[in-house]
């Protein structure tokens, strides 16, 4: 969301009827959703959380909420095993700017970076060092910025445990679909579909868009592609960065 995000290793850059449409009655109880709010540590929006939770619950979902401090490396590692049908990832994200992973999207954790933690994952480039600039244009040294672990597509492919089960994933942060590398990794891990932005996006704009997207998905029963198109028609591209909300795989 509109912090300049840097993934390092370096990368620079965040009612009505019960539509169990994303997971129609499979006999295993009500569908489950989670709001993963890593961005709450820097850009909290309790109103969004309340509205999104209300929409999900009215559509029959059991909703779990994870505040920023819980969004660790191992949280992501175990995420497929939690059995969610819908994931709303309100997390900062950015683009890797180095090496073979250049222009690949990554997701922030809230876990401070350490060279001595998760050494195998770091050496395999499943985890990177990530930071975002909250100084509003004031020049600072990179060493002065807080550093966190970030996960890339390879982490999703080879370090996560279990599989998603036709999960719909909404990546609310920047650049999730600048390329399809990260979204494709989620789909290969069992997700049904992914929605995200093709560039930078402000927190206020993505929050407004996600509210509308959930309403179109859950209240109106639209497909993800239709819901994304309807949302874009209503809220438009980000007014500053002109990024657009997309869905993957296309045509779903």
What residue segments make up the domains of the chain, in order of their start? Answer: 4-248
- Given a cut of 70, is residue 11 above it in pLDDT? no
| H or E element that contains 16 | none
Distance CA 126, CA 133 (A): 23
In the prediction, which pLDDT does 97 show?
A: 82
Class in CATH terms, 4-248: alpha beta
- Given a cut of 60, is residue 14 above it in pLDDT? no
Burial class of residue 167, CB neighbours in 10 A (0-12, 13-18, 19+): buried
Distance CA 54, CA 48 (A): 10
Tell me which of 28 and 193 has the higher pLDDT.
193
In the prediction, which pLDDT does 142 show?
A: 57
Give the pTM: 0.88
> Can you spell out the DSSP letters for 58-81?
HTT-EEEEEEGGG--HHHHHHGGG
> Can you spell out the DSSP letters for 162-210?
S--SS-EEEE-STTTTTSSHHHHHHHHTT-SEEEEESS---HHHHHHHH
pLDDT tens readout for residues 197-206: 999 999 999 9
In the DSSP assignment, the letter for residue 111 is: E
Residue 5: band (very low, low, confident or very high) from pLDDT cuts 50, 70, 90: low
pLDDT tens readout for residues 51-95: 999 999 999 999 999 999 999 999 999 999 999 999 999 999 999
Copy the structure tokens of residue 93.
């994200």
- Given a cut of 80, is residue 3 above it in pLDDT? no
Residue 100: band (very low, low, confident or very high) from pLDDT cuts 50, 70, 90: confident
| Mean pLDDT comparison of 8-22, 95-109, 188-202, highest-scoring range | 188-202
pLDDT tens readout for residues 159-180: 999 999 999 999 999 999 999 9
In the prediction, which pLDDT does 9 show?
A: 41
Pairing of strands 105-112, 148-151: antiparallel
Residue 4: band (very low, low, confident or very high) from pLDDT cuts 50, 70, 90: very low
- Given a cut of 90, is residue 133 above it in pLDDT? no
- Given a cut of 80, is residue 240 above it in pLDDT? yes
- Given a cut of 90, is residue 224 above it in pLDDT? yes
Nearest to 152 by CA among 103, 81, 83: 103
């Amino acid at each position: 969301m509109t912090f300049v995000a840097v993934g390092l290793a370096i990368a620079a850059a965040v009612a009505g009827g019960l539509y169990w449409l994303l997971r129609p009655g499979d006999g295993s109880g009500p569908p489950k959703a989670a709001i993963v709010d890593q961005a709450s540590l820097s850009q909290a929006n309790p109103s969004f959380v309340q509205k999104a939770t209300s929409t999900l619950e009215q559509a029959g979902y059991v909703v779990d909420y994870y505040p920023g401090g819980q969004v660790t490396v191992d949280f992501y590692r175990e995420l497929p095993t939690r059995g969610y049908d819908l994931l709303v990832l309100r997390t900062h994200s950015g683009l890797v700017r180095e090496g073979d992973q250049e222009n690949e999207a990554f997701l922030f954790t809230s876990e401070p970076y350490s060279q001595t933690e998760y050494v195998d994952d770091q050496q395999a480039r499943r985890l990177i060092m990530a930071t975002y600039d909250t100084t509003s244009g004031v020049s600072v040294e990179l060493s002065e910025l807080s550093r966190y672990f970030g996960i890339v597509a390879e982490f999703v492919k080879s370090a996560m445990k279990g599989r998603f089960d036709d999960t719909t994933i909404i990546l609310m942060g920047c650049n999730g679909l600048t390329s399809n590398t990260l979204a494709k990794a989620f789909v290969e891990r069992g997700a049904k579909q992914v929605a995200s932005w093709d560039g930078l996006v402000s927190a206020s704009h993505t929050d407004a868009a996600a509210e509308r997207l959930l309403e179109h998905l859950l209240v109106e029963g639209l497909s993800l592609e239709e819901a994304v198109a309807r949302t874009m028609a209503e809220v438009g591209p980000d007014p500053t960065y002109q990024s657009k909300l997309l869905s993957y795989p296309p045509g779903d």
